[in-house]
Amino acid sequence: MFLFTLILAIPFGKYISKVFNGEKTLLDFLSPFERFISGISGINMESEMNWKQSMKAMLTINLIWFLFAMLILMNQGWLPLNPDGNLSMSPDLAFNTAISFLVNCNLQHYSGETGVTYLSQLVCLLFLQFVSAATGLAAAAIVFNALKERTTNQLGNFYNYFIKSITRILLPLSFIIAILLMVNGMPMTFEGKQSIITLQGDSIQVSTGPVAAFVAIKHLGTNGGGWFGTNSAHPFENPNYFTNVVEMVSQFIIPLAMIFALGFYLQRKKLAWMIFGVMTVGFLCLVIPTIIMELNGNSEIAKMGIDMSAGAMEGKEVRFGTTASAYWSILTTVISTGSVNSFHDSFMPLSGMNQMLAMMVNAFYGGCGVGLLNFFIFLIIAVFISGLMVGRTPEFLGKKIEAREMKIAVIVTLVSALLLKGGTACAAYLYANDPSLPWLNNSGFHGFSEMLYEYTSSNANNGSGFEGLGDNNLWWNISTGIILLLSRFIPIIGPVAIAGILASKKYIPESSGTLKTDTVTFGVMTFAVIVIVTALSFFPALVLGPIAEYFTMN
């Protein structure tokens, strides 16, 4: 699956580069439709913007979408397209859900098929899955422009990149994926619950709906929100092994293609391969141990005489097996999709740690566009440290890295750690003072891990969870909602600001003394920076949760 996705991602990255660069593509026939959207919204997509104007445009339209989502979710009970009679959301749950889908996280404190109506799923949540992914892609395109130009304050038009991300990238590919899913048994209907007789002879009600269209953009846009409460473990949301492959490839292809799009756009293919190498090494360091641990299973259960030849199968679907479930669990946390085809809460302790580490780093591939932005922060820090080590003023692509850019990079890094650990500390304090709170399904170290995972997922805009946590209450809805907002927009605004500042600086031609940033040596340096920053920031919290659980398991 990894190699197949890579083969597809390289030409797709070239296509994305052409879209952002305004070159001819096969989908140029959509230009009249894009001009129509521009016309009715009163937006001039040809006017150039600086980085501040682009971020103002991004925040403005996101505010409008948030208010729109709140309105729909709090009134869905009496609105049309509600064949199952689902109720309207409470204000705090609507607040959390609206923000979650707005920021590409899709942290679901409701249960999919029973928590929202068809209208909410399609008009509100499906819509947000398109525009949130396009927001990340548009922000990445602005950074591409800033790195490409020698000296400029004009970085393209945010709305132009945003609309083209939907019409030229997300929508056509979603259509193809939805058809593949639909013809393999995924429902695509407006009928409500259907009655079936189970193998045991019981009569039960099973939810359906226009699932295929929803699931396509759920994965392609690295959103992850499930139509059903059990997400892609549900047989209607992931019917067979083929759909499992389709969903894994679809959620991985854009983050991977964006790396190569950067190389084609800047005409620096070696830089793209260096970035790909660092990210892939990090990914393999997480996914290989996880697969091995899940295949080995729990030795304590084996001592009870229970067959563990298939690995740790608790919480996993038999139609996927241990290996594909373990691979998915790291892939979905590395690229901040957050969809699940198994129960992460049931994984081995150190597998759960790897899932959290993938989100704590949040720069090994990452989400649509924003993965590269997060990696860009580590790149700037690595350039600065490397420059000091060789006794030169740090430079990246012909621009000096100075105190202002470093301050922004460090602030973005520290804010992430502060939000994640601060939220977990507050929740642990509240629970310690009132253990009667209906939060934790497990006590001790694993209970701490459940809370740590929830804030890690929120901070990484991931959306997956250790679902033993009871999170549909005022504390978790409001606290994670605030973290979702801050951890989405600060890591976007920071890299865009750095890129905008660099773009306005005087270009310095490369010389024999210039630090090469497209080499294996610099890749090793960047990887070391990522490991050190992550270890210093999060190792103490991991010791209190999954690591302590591992050592006390026996």
The pLDDT assigned to 342 comes to 96
Nearest C-alpha neighbor of 226 from the set 124, 121, 89: 121
Cβ atoms of 331 and 252 closer than 8 Å: yes
pLDDT tens for residues 260-297?
999 999 999 999 999 999 999 999 999 999 999 999 99
532: pLDDT strictly greater than 80: yes
Cβ atoms of 66 and 83 closer than 8 Å: no
The pLDDT assigned to 192 comes to 84
E strands, 150-216, in order: 194-197, 203-206
What is the average pLDDT score of the chain? Answer: 93
Residues listed for the chain = 554
Q: How far apart are CA 222 and CA 252, in angstroms?
A: 8
391: pLDDT strictly greater than 80: no
Token pair 């304050």: residue: 153
Give residue 516's pLDDT band: very low, low, confident or very high (50, 70, 90): confident
The pLDDT assigned to 481 comes to 96
Residues pairing with 197 in the sheet:
203
Give residue 132's pLDDT band: very low, low, confident or very high (50, 70, 90): very high
Which residues, including other chains, have CB under 8 Å from residue 26's CB and lie 6 or more apart? none
Token pair 């209907």: residue: 189
Give the whole-number percent of the chain exceeding pLDDT 90. Answer: 82
The pLDDT assigned to 517 comes to 87
Give residue 180's pLDDT band: very low, low, confident or very high (50, 70, 90): very high
Q: How far apart are CA 45 and CA 163, in angstroms?
A: 9
Cβ atoms of 254 and 335 closer than 8 Å: no
Q: Which two tokens stand for residue 96?
A: 């959390």
Give residue 441's pLDDT band: very low, low, confident or very high (50, 70, 90): confident
The pLDDT assigned to 174 comes to 97
**Mean pLDDT for the stretch of residues 525-537:** 94
Cβ atoms of 483 and 458 closer than 8 Å: yes
**Mean pLDDT for the stretch of residues 5-14:** 97
pLDDT tens for residues 17-42?
999 999 999 999 999 999 999 889 88
486: pLDDT strictly greater than 90: yes
Cβ atoms of 146 and 499 closer than 8 Å: yes
The pLDDT assigned to 53 comes to 95
In whole angstroms, what separates CA 138 from the centre of its chain? Answer: 15
Give the number of other CB atoms < 10 A from CB of residue 108.
26
124: pLDDT strictly greater than 90: yes
The pLDDT assigned to 60 comes to 95
The pLDDT assigned to 390 comes to 76
The pLDDT assigned to 397 comes to 86
The pLDDT assigned to 458 comes to 96
380: pLDDT strictly greater than 80: yes
Q: How far apart are CA 194 and CA 401, in angstroms?
A: 61
214: pLDDT strictly greater than 90: yes
Q: How far apart are CA 307 and CA 96, in angstroms?
A: 42
Is 274 or 309 the better-scoring residue by pLDDT?
Answer: 274
Strand 203-206 versus strand 395-396 pairing type: unpaired
**Mean pLDDT for the stretch of residues 382-401:** 85
Is 441 or 125 the better-scoring residue by pLDDT?
Answer: 125
Q: How far apart are CA 169 and CA 190, in angstroms?
A: 27
